[in-house]
Amino acid sequence: MDERVPRDFETLRATILDRRETLPKRIAQIAAYALDNPDDIAFGTAASIAASAGVQPSTLIRFAQQLGFDGFTSLQQVFRERLRERNSSYDERLQALRAKADAGAGHRAIFDGFVAAASTSLNDISRTLDEAHLEDAISLLAKAETIYVLAKRRSYPVASYIAYALGKLKIRNQLIESAAGLNAEMVAFATPADAVIAISFSPYAPATIEEARTIAEQGVPIVAITDSSFSPLAQFAKVWFEVAEADFAGFRSLSATMALAMALTVGVGEKRRSTSRKRKA
C-alpha cells in the first residue's frame, strides 16, 4: 500500500492515470468511471456507485485501498473536497487571496486573485441579471439605425470589444473615443432613431456622463451598464443594468460586464436576423 495518499483531486487524478495500465480489470473499470463521473462519486453511496459502474461494492473499496485510502469514505472525501473548493463561496476565496497578496505571497497569488475576482463577478451577475431588462435592451438596440458605444477609461475595453463584435455582425455602430477630440460633434449626429450603449462605473468619467446627458436630451435612447441606482447614467437611461464587479489589488474585474456586453451584442444580431426573416415572409 502506498504511503503517499493523494489528498487533492488533481493528484488523485494523476495517480489514477499513471497506474491505469497496471490496475486489475474491475478496478480499472471503477477508475475510469470515477474520472468520468466524479460528481457521482462525491454524492453517491458505495452501493449506488458500484451499481452504476457495474461492479460489486467490495471492489469499490478495494479500489480505494489500492490508492492508499483506508476505505471508500476517505476516497469520497477527496471527491467532495473538489466540489467544495471549486465552488466554495468565491467570496471567501477572494478574501483569503487578498490577504495572501497583501502579505506579499508572490505572483501566482495575484493571478489567482484576478481569476477569483472574475469568477465571483460572473457568479454574481448570473444570479442577479434581470431577464426582462435584457429583453428590453435588446429590442431597443435592435431597432436602432446606428448603435453608439460610449465608455472611457476602465470601461473602454468593453466598449471597444462591443464595437469589434458589432462590426463582425455587420451592425452599424460608432465608438465614441476621445482620441480625435471630436466627441461633441459625433454625439450631435445621433438621432432618436439611433441608440446608445453607455458603460460607466464609479468614479464615473465626467466625459461619459456629459456625453450621455447630451445624447439623452437629443431623445436618443440609452442602454446603460453601471454599478448602482445612484449612478448618473441610470437617470439618463431607458434601460439600465446593475453590474457589481469584484475587485482585486485595486482593479475591478471586467468579466461580468463583458459577458453582458456580448449577450447584448449577439442578442441584437439574432433579433435583427429573425426580424428580417419575418419581413421577407
Partner DNA sequence: TAAAAAATGAGACAGACATTCCATTTCAGA
Partner DNA sequence: TCTGAAATGGAATGTCTGTCTCATTTTTTA
Query: Is residue 212 close enough to count as binding its own copies by CB under 8 A?
Result: no
Part of the chain binding DNA (CB under 7 A), chosen from 1-9, 11-19, 42-50, 127-135: 42-50
CB of 27 to DNA, least distance (A): 5
Q: Contact region for its own copies (CB under 8 A) — 20-28, 181-189, 202-210, 264-272? A: 264-272
Sign of CA dihedral 80, 81, 87, 91: positive
- Beta strands at 147-150 and 195-199: parallel, antiparallel or unpaired: parallel
Residue in the block written with cell 495517480: 15
36's grid cell: 468520468
d(CA 256, CA 53): 39
**How far is residue 15's CA from residue 24's CA, in Å, rounded to a whole number?**
15
What are the beta bridge partners of residue 196? 148, 222
Under the binding rule (CB under 8 A), the answer on residue 118 touching its own copies is yes
Candidate list 2, 7, 8, 10; residue touching its own copies; CB under 8 A: 10
* 127, interface contact from its own copies, DNA, none, CB < 5-8 Å by kind: its own copies
Q: Which of 10, 36, 52, 71 binds DNA (CB under 7 A)?
A: 71
Is residue 35 close enough to count as binding its own copies by CB under 8 A?
no
Q: C-alpha 166: how far from its chain's center?
A: 20
> 153 contacts which partner out of its own copies, DNA, none, CB within 5 to 8 A by kind?
its own copies
SS3 at position 1: coil
Give the nearer residue to its own copies in terms of CB position, either 231 or 257.
257
Measured between alpha carbons, how far is 133 from 123 in angstroms, rounded to an integer? Answer: 18
Q: What angle do CA 178, 183, 188 make, to 5 degrees?
A: 165
Q: What's the CA gap between 70 and 84, in Å, rounded?
A: 22
Establish if 165 lies at the interface with its own copies (CB under 8 A). Answer: yes
- Using the rule CB under 8 A, is 7 a contact of its own copies? no
Residue numbers 72-101 binding its own copies by CB under 8 A: 80, 82-84, 86-88
DSSP code of 223?
E
Cα separation, 30 vs 55, in Å, equals 8
Query: Which residues would be at the binding site for its own copies (CB under 8 A)?
Result: 10, 39, 42-43, 80, 82-84, 86-88, 104, 107-108, 110-115, 118-119, 122-123, 125-127, 129, 131, 134-135, 138, 153-154, 156-158, 160-161, 164-165, 168, 179, 248-251, 253-255, 258-260, 262-263, 265-267, 270, 274
Binding site for DNA (CB under 7 A): 24-27, 45-48, 55-62, 64, 70-74
